[in-house]
Amino acid sequence: QIMLEELLIHKPDDPIQYMINHLEQHNDDAPRICVLGPPASGKTTVAMWLCKRLDAIRISQETLLFKETLKLAEEAKAHKESNQKIPNALWANLIQERLSNVDCIKQGWILEGFPENQEQAWMLQSAGIIPRHVVVLYASDTVLIERNSGKRLDPLTEEVYHTTFDWPSDVEIQQRLVKPELSEQEMSKKLLEYHRTFPAVFQIYQKVLRSINADQPSVDVLSQVLTYVRTRHRSAAPFTPRILFCGPPGSGKSLQAALIAQKYDVVNICCGQLLKEAVAGKTKVGELVKPYIDNGYP
């Protein structure tokens, strides 16, 4: 199914060679996860933790602009330094460039805080960037504004701490923590923008999306996130069922097997019947099992 999706998206001139290259270079089991949510919902904490647990590559707006050697990064930084909004198309191209690197292909990726709106989501889809799992963190605006006021950032590791809920024990870390520049008024504006634009993103990813309450202990949040991203979605690829019924005599194996075979149009194979047919047909196998059949086995 994954290769079929890739073929439909990229439409290569030589599909056979494309599939060979895909099998040689790609890891179809690598995570492809988006972690979304309003400001101060814990996206960075969740994304960094997933990155460590799954050995995947974390990608955020900050890492794209300041920690990667990407061709388009300078253009994006110029917009930011001029206090101009970075165009959606430029963000999408930056992400596409980063995800084409070998580490993302082999290890998988955790995309933090992107897409933020419908246009960005469509651009990612057009580029063939389709997450398998989308985690959306949510909490009330009151909780998020309160969190933002106590939020502290370690500029060295990008770890996020809180003056009340998650204060580091290491004195050295405490001394280098900085307060984010987002004021309460700016935070309120960002929340309004999020509530206005995110419902469209929710609709696009609803089949692979799980909403998780961020207003609970971080251990519980991380546990729920990890449980979800480790699930496999039902494949739309053709599937041939192989079913084995076991149980003691009189447990109803034969009846259940017959009902399942009738409902799903599969072949019902009874081992006892096969052995009896082999004996009746006087085959070599039949000669071997005949003494057991004569003695009532099976």
The stretch 109-130 carries a mean pLDDT of 91
Domain with 195 in it: what CATH number?
Answer: 3.40.50.300
Do 198 and 66 lie in one domain? The reply is yes
Do 67 and 99 lie in one domain? The reply is yes
Of 49-63, 122-136, 165-179, where does mean pLDDT reach its minimum? 165-179
Do 59 and 193 lie in one domain? The reply is yes
Is 15 among the domain residues? no
Task: Provide the terminal-to-terminal Cα distance of the chain, rounded to the nearest Å.
Answer: 42
Is 150 among the domain residues? no
- Please say if the pLDDT value at position 298 is more than 60: no
Do 265 and 212 lie in one domain? The reply is no
155 or 194: which leads in pLDDT: 194
Q: What is the pLDDT of residue 297?
A: 65
What confidence category does residue 131 fall into, taking pLDDT thresholds of 50, 70 and 90?
A: very high
Do 220 and 79 lie in one domain? The reply is yes
Could you read off the pLDDT of 195-252 as tens digits, one per residue? 999 999 999 999 899 999 999 988 999 999 999 999 887 666 667 788 888 888 888 8
- Residue 99 makes CB contacts below 8 A (sequence gap 6+) with 59, 105, 109, 129
Is 84 buried (19+), middle (13-18) or exposed (0-12) by CB count in 10 A? exposed
- Please say if the pLDDT value at position 192 is more than 90: yes
The stretch 29-55 carries a mean pLDDT of 91
Is 202 among the domain residues? yes
Tell me the residue range of the domain where 196 lies: 31-140+180-229
Do 66 and 127 lie in one domain? The reply is yes
> Per the structure, how many domains does the chain have?
2
Do 56 and 114 lie in one domain? The reply is yes
Average pLDDT over all residues of the chain: 84
**Closest by alpha carbon to 275, among 261, 293, 260?**
293
Measured CA distances, 112 to 43, 49, 52, 105, 262 (Å): 7, 12, 14, 17, 47
Do 186 and 270 lie in one domain? The reply is no
Are 209 and 229 contacting, i.e. CB atoms less than 8 angstroms apart? no
Do 221 and 185 lie in one domain? The reply is yes
Is 163 among the domain residues? no
Is 81 among the domain residues? yes
Q: What is the pLDDT of residue 74?
A: 82
Structure tokens at 74: 């300078």
215 or 149: which leads in pLDDT: 215
CA distance linking residue 286 with residue 290, whole number of Å: 6
Is 164 among the domain residues? no
Is 245 among the domain residues? no
Q: What is the pLDDT of residue 68?
A: 63
Do 80 and 132 lie in one domain? The reply is yes
pTM: 0.69
180 or 50: which leads in pLDDT: 50
Could you read off the pLDDT of 259-272 as tens digits, one per residue? 998 888 888 888 88
Could you read off the pLDDT of 53-89 as tens digits, one per residue? 999 999 998 888 876 677 788 888 888 888 888 889 9
CA distance linking residue 280 with residue 177, whole number of Å: 83
Do 190 and 261 lie in one domain? The reply is no
Is 175 among the domain residues? no
Do 134 and 274 lie in one domain? The reply is no
Q: What is the pLDDT of residue 26?
A: 64
DSSP string, 153-171: E-TTT--EEETTTB--S-H
